[in-house]
Chain A
Amino acid sequence: MTESVLRARGLTRRYGRGSGMVRAVDEVDLSVPAGESLAIMGPSGCGKSTLLHLLGGLQRPTAGRVWLAGRRLDTMSERSLARLRRDSVGFVFQSFHLMDELTAVENVELAALLAGRSPRQARRRAGYLLDRVGLADRADHLPSALSGGQRQRVAVARALSNEPLVVLADEPTGNLDSAATLEILRLFEDLRTEGQTLVVVTHDSRIAAIADRMITMRDGAFADDSRLAVTAPVHGGWR
C-alpha cells in the first residue's frame, strides 16, 4: 500500500461555545496516499474549507491530529508550520489571492524567493511553471490584465513553485466562468496524471469527476468516501 502523504485522526474544529458552538469539522479521519487526487464536496458551510485549512496548517484544530509527510502539524510552532507550508504544501484559493501589484511571473516566483532561492533560480522556475500552465506569453502581465482562468492558472503555477508534496485547492473554479473552469480542469487533470497529490475542495462535480476519490461532507463530518474510476480525460484531444 502507498504511504499516506496526508493523514488526520479525530480532526475537530469547533467555533464558539455552549449553545452557540459550531462543529465546523467533527472528528474526521482521513488518509491521502501520495499521488492521489481527492475531491471533497458538500454543501456550503459543511466545513470543507476549514478542513482544507486544517490539513494545510493554516488553522489549528481544536482536537485531533494531522500528519503531513509523517510530521505532526497540530503540535508544530507557527515558524515550523510556515517552513512546512513553504516546502511541502501548495495552496490554490477560490479568489486567487494574487498580489495585484506584481506581474504573473513575479507572483509565481514569490514562493521561491520566500524559500530563499536566488532571484535567478526563482525566475527560471517561475518561467517554467508559467509555460507549463500555458501562460508564458502573459508572464509580464499584471493580474488585472488577466482573465479569471488565467489568474487561477497563475495561482496554480505559484502553488507548484516549490515542488510541494501536496496541492490543496479551495474552490479553485468557484469564481470562474465555464471556459475558465475548463482550463483549470485540464490543468488539474495534467497534475493528477503526473502523480501530484491533490486535495480539492469543490462544489463542481466536473472537478470531482477527474479525481481518484471523492469525499462528501455534511455538518463537519464525512458522509461518503468513494473511489472513482476516471472514465474520460477532460481535455480529450486538447494539446
Chain B
Amino acid sequence: MAGRLLLVCRLLVRDLRRRPIETILLVVAISAATGTLTLGLALNDVADRPYERTRAATAGPDVVARPHTTGQRALAALAPLTTSAGVTGHSGPYPVAFLVMTAHGRTVHTVVEGRDTAPARVDRPVVTEGTWVRPGGVVVERAFADALGVRAGDEVGVDGRRLRVLGTAVTTARPTYPYAGWIDPDSALVERGGLVWVHRADIATLAGARPLSYTLNLELADPDAGAAFVDSATTLHAGELSTWQGIAEQDGRLVADAREALLVGSWLLAALSIAGVTGVVAGRVVGRRRRVGLLKAVGAGPAMVAVVHLAEYLVIGLAAAGIGLAAGLLAAPALIRPSAGLLGVVDTRPPALSTVVAAVSLAVVIATAATLVPVVRAAFASTIHALADAATPPRRRRWRVRLSRRLPVTLLIGIRVNARRPRRARLVTVNTLITTTVLVAVLMNHAQDEPFDLGYTDLVDPRAERTDQALLVLTVVLGVLALLNAVVTTWTAVLDARRPLAVARTLGATPAQAGLGLGVAQLLPAIPGVAAGIPVGLGLYTIVGPGELRYPPDSWLLATALGVLLVGAALTAVPAMVAARRPVADALGSTPA
C-alpha cells in the first residue's frame, strides 16, 4: 500500500513539474470559478460584520418607529411606545423633514433629522469627520457624503437654504444611502435618498410650511425580540417599525444584486471551467498514453492507472480551490466598500465554513467532471495500443464528409477537421455559448434604467454601482477563461490535425487553405454557441433580473455576437497559420501514423 502511495505521489510530482504550463492553465481555470463563487458567498458575511460593529459603537436602536402621520398626531402615535413592555430605553422622538439637498450642482432627496447637540442614550451617530450638529450646520451620513462628494467645511443647500457641512457621521438607525427612506409627502411613497442631521432648532425653518414627521429609537430588554415587539405594538396604526435586523438586511441590499450576479456567474464560470479543463485534460491524457501503456505493462491495473491520474487532478483542484478562496475573500471588501456607510475595516478572515466547503466542492466537482471520462478511458485502454502511442481513431461522420465534398477547399478542410473530433467542437460551442450568455446578460444590465431615480438626481446608485463592479469582475474573469479555453482548444485542434493537414498539403492544399481550414474548424462550432448565447443571456437575466425589463438594442447584440466570433477567429488565426507554415515533411514524420 505504502509503495503504491509512493508511486502515485512520485508520478504526480514529476508530471506536475514536467508540464508546468498545462498545470497553470488548469489551476487558473478552476480557481476562476471557485474565486467567483467565494466572492459571491463572501459578500453576505462581509456585509453583516461592519453593521454589527457600527451598531455597537453607535448604541444603535433595537427598533425604530416612524409614523406616516405628521405633527401632533405622529407624536401621539409614538408616545405609548416608550412605555411599552420590553422597552428599556429610547431616544426621540426626533423631528424629520423630507426635503431636497443640493451640493456641487446636484440635487438629491434628503431625509433631514433634527437632533440635539448632546448625545442621546440610543442612537449616538459616530462622527467620522468634523463635528456633531450645532445650529446653522448640517452633518451628512458618510455614504451619502461620499456619493455627493462633500466634506466638512463645504456648503450645501437644503431646500434653498445654505448650510455649512459640519461633519460626516454613521448610524444604524437608518439604512445607509440610498435607503434612508425618503417619503414623498404627496404620495407617501418611500423613495431613495440620503440622511443628514441638523440641529433640532433649525429643522422647522428648513421645513417651512411642510409639517414635520417624527422618528423614535427604542432599546429593548431583549434586542433579538424586535420582531415580537413589532407584532405586539398595535398603537402605531399608520407607520413603520423597523428592527435592527431589518435595517441590517436593507444595508445588505446594497450588494444583493452583485451577490446574485456573482453566484449565477460562478455557475456559468464553473461550466466554462469544466469545458476548459476537459480540453486540457484530454490533451494531457493523449500526451501520456504511452505512460499509461507502460504502467499497465508493468502490472498496474485500470484502478491504479485511474488513481494516478485522478490524484493529480484532485491536487490541482484543491490548490485551485485555495487560490480561488483567497482571491475571492481578498476581492470581497473592495467590492462591498462598507466604509462608506458603516464603521471599521472589513475582516473576512476566517471565511465561513460553508464558503470554504462550497469552493472546495466546486473545485473537486470541476476536476472530477472534466477528468473522469478521459481518465477512465485511458485506464481501460488496450496496453498494446497505448504502448504504440496510437491516437484514438477519429469517428466517421458520413453526412459531414458528404456535405463538405460540395464546398470550397477551406470549408471542406474545416468541416472534416471538426468531424474528426466532434467533442472538441462541442467544447468550442459551450465556450462561446457561455461567453455570449454572460456578455448579453451584462448588456441587459446596462440596458436597465432606474425608474425611481430618474428626474431627481444624477448620482450614481451605489447598488447599481456595486452590481456593475461585480459584473465587471465576472466579465474579466470570464474573458480570461474564455480566451484560455479558445487557445487550448485551438492548439489541441492544431496538434490533432497535424497529420491530416500535412496529407492535405501533400495532395496540393496550400498553407493558406490549410490554415484557414483550421480557423474555420474553430469558427463553425462557435456560430451556434453565439446564436444560442443571445437568447440564453436574455432569458437568464429575465429570470434573475428585476421585474420590468428593457432589452438592449439589436445593434448591441449583433456587435457582441460579431465581437465574440472575431476574437475567436483572431485567437485561432495565429496557431492555425503557424501550423500551416510548418514543413509538411516534418509534420508527416513527427506524428504517429
Contacts and interface: CB of A to CB of B under 8 A. Distances in A.
A34 interface: no
A142 B396 contact: yes
B581 A82 contact: no
Interface in B493-522: 499-500, 502-513
Contact of A53 (B396, B503, B509, B585): B585
Residue from the set B420, B511, B513, B585 with the largest chain A CB neighbour count within 10 Å: B585
A114 B504 contact: yes
A72 interface: no
Contacts of A109: 405
Contacts of B81: none
Contacts of B581: 78
B396 A97 contact: no
Given A79-B512, A142-B396, A119 B406 contact: yes
Interface string A49-70: 0100100101110000000000
A167 to B, nearest CB: 12
B496 to A, nearest CB: 12
B482 interface: no
Contact of A122 (B405, B499, B506, B510): B405
Interface in A109-141: 109-111, 113-116, 119, 122
A114 B508 contact: yes
A101 B507 contact: no
A97 B510 contact: no
Interface in A162-176: 162
B584 to A, nearest CB: 5
B588 A93 contact: yes
Residue from the set A87, A91, A93, A110 with the largest chain B CB neighbour count within 10 Å: A110
B405 to A, nearest CB: 4
Contacts of A144: 393
Given A58-B585, A59-B585, A97 B503 contact: yes
Given A93-B588, A101-B395, A111 B507 contact: yes
Contact of A116 (B409, B420, B583, B584): B409
A141 B406 CA distance: 21
A78 B510 contact: yes
B396 A114 contact: no
Contact of A82 (B412, B420, B505, B585): B505
A85 B506 contact: yes
Interface residues of B, number: 33
Residue from the set B499, B503, B581, B588 with the largest chain A CB neighbour count within 10 Å: B503
Nearest to B506: A91
B237 to A, nearest CB: 79
Contacts of B409: 113-114, 116
Interface string A4-37: 0000000000000000000000000000000000
Contacts of B42: none
Interface in A158-203: 158, 161-162
A158 B505 CA distance: 13
A56 B412 CA distance: 24
Contact of A96 (B401, B504, B508, B593): B593
Nearest to A90: B507
B510 A115 contact: no
Interface residues of A, number: 37
Nearest to A168: B506
Contacts of A110: 504, 507
Interface string A89-110: 0010101110111100010011
B510 A83 contact: yes
A95 B583 contact: no
A85 B588 contact: no
A86 interface: yes
B508 A115 contact: yes
Contact of B508 (A86, A95, A99): A86
B397 interface: yes
B119 interface: no
Contacts of A96: 593
B583 A106 contact: no
B579 to A, nearest CB: 13
Nearest to A84: B508
B508 A79 contact: no
Given A58-B584, A97-B503, A101-B419, A85 B508 contact: yes
B394 interface: yes
A126 to B, nearest CB: 11
A101 B510 contact: no
A58 B511 contact: no
Contacts of B593: 93, 95-97
Contact of B401 (A50, A101, A111, A116): A101
A18 B508 CA distance: 35
A120 to B, nearest CB: 10
Nearest to A54: B585
B521 to A, nearest CB: 14
A115 B396 CA distance: 23
Residue from the set A56, A97, A101, A109 with the largest chain B CB neighbour count within 10 Å: A101
Given A91-B506, A99-B500, A99-B503, A113 B412 contact: yes
A113 B405 contact: yes
B420 A101 contact: yes
25 contacts: A56-B506, A58-B583, A58-B584, A58-B585, A79-B510, A82-B509, A85-B505, A85-B507, A85-B508, A86-B508, A95-B593, A97-B506, A100-B394, A101-B394, A101-B397, A101-B416, A101-B419, A110-B507, A111-B508, A113-B412, A114-B504, A114-B507, A114-B509, A119-B406, A161-B507
Q: Report, nearest first, the 8 A-B pairs whose CB atoms are least far apart.
A: A86-B508, A95-B593, A82-B510, A111-B507, A58-B585, A119-B405, A53-B585, A101-B396
Given A113-B412, A119-B405, A158-B507, 6 more contacts: A59-B584, A78-B511, A82-B513, A86-B508, A87-B508, A114-B507
